[in-house]
């Protein structure tokens, strides 16, 4: 069983904000893979169980506020007996160019309060995290106000493609692991169109599957 958690803040006032792009990704994955998200009060989250890429998976959105995300993640791991090695946390990142993806197998919080809470609650930095770049505001604008604000009209035109790439990244993580996901998606910015990324990631996966199946047939 694997767990993908998208970080964000609950409530209509925060819906669609930059800080809630992790929630947007979970909703997109749940919709495309027909996974129903339900209120799980024991784990302080909305979560749903299903299958993606032949993997048993739980998708979750903490209903705690961002700074307390770790409480929900810890409860989800304990409730479903999932190890940190099988956890992927998705969040926004001010220090990445808008639309750029960065997935890593572990590390510090990088100043992100949600990741900081997860690390603190688990007492562990060794879990995968996917950061989605939202870019930094102009110098005249407060960072806190910026992350809690909505995307601009121009940015909204690109969100669907960005969520699409991030979803693909999650699928590669599920099927092939974090190293393969890093090789394919890290460094891909907003100027790489979704179709190009799709072809590249699918090509790697299809070729890998073909070689594995060919080897298995030869061993029979």
Query: What pLDDT, on the 0 to 100 scale, is given for residue 143?
Result: 81
Active site residue 33: no
Query: What pLDDT, on the 0 to 100 scale, is given for residue 20?
Result: 93
Residue numbers of the chain with a pLDDT score lower than 50: 190-220
Superfamily of domain 2-219: Peptidyl-tRNA hydrolase (3.40.50.1470)
Query: What pLDDT, on the 0 to 100 scale, is given for residue 110?
Result: 87
- Evaluate whether 208 touches 202 at the Cβ level (below 8 Å): no
Question: With b meaning 16 or more CB within 10 Å and e meaning fewer, what string describes 1-16?
Answer: ebbbbbbbbbeeebee
Query: What pLDDT, on the 0 to 100 scale, is given for residue 111?
Result: 84
Sorted by where each begins, the domain ranges of the chain are 2-219
Contacts of residues 38-45 at CB distance under 8 Å and 24 or more positions apart, as own/partner, are 39/63, 40/76, 40/79, 42/75, 42/79, 43/72, 43/75, 43/76, 43/79, 44/71, 44/72, 44/75, 45/5, 45/72, 45/75, 45/76
pTM: 0.83
Query: What pLDDT, on the 0 to 100 scale, is given for residue 83?
Result: 96
Tell me which of 19, 33, 80, 112 is the catalytic residue.
19
Of 132, 126, 20, 95, nearest in space to 65 by CA: 20
- Evaluate whether 79 touches 42 at the Cβ level (below 8 Å): yes
Torsion, CA 38, CA 117, CA 88, CA 199, rounded to 10: 100
Q: What is the DSSP letter of 217?
A: H
In sequence order, what are the beta bridge partners of 87? Answer: 3
Query: What pLDDT, on the 0 to 100 scale, is given for residue 140?
Result: 63
Number of other CB atoms surrounding residue 216 within 10 Å = 9
């Amino acid at each position: 069983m694997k767990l993908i958690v998208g970080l964000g803040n609950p409530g209509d006032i925060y819906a669609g904000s930059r800080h809630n792009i992790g929630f947007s990704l979970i909703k997109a994955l749940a919709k495309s893979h027909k996974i129903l998200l339900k209120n799980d009060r024991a784990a302080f989250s909305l979560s749903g169980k299903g299958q993606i890429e032949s993997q048993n998976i739980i998708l979750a959105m903490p209903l705690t506020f961002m700074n307390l995300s770790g409480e929900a993640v810890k409860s989800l791991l304990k409730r479903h007996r999932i190890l940190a090695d099988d956890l992927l946390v998705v969040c926004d990142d001010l220090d990445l160019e808008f639309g750029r993806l960065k997935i890593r197998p572990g590390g510090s919080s990088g100043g992100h309060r949600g990741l900081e809470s997860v690390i603190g609650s688990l007492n562990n930095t060794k879990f995968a995290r996917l950061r989605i770049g939202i870019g930094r505001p102009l110098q005249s604008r407060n960072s806190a106000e910026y992350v809690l604000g909505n995307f601009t009209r121009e940015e909204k035109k690109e969100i669907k493609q960005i969520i699409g790439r991030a979803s693909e990244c999650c699928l590669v993580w599920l099927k092939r692991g974090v190293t393969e996901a890093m090789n394919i998606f890290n460094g891909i910015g907003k100027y790489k169109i979704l179709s190009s990324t799709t072809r590249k990631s699918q090509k790697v996966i299809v070729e890998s599957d073909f070689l594995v199946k060919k080897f298995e047939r030869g061993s029979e």
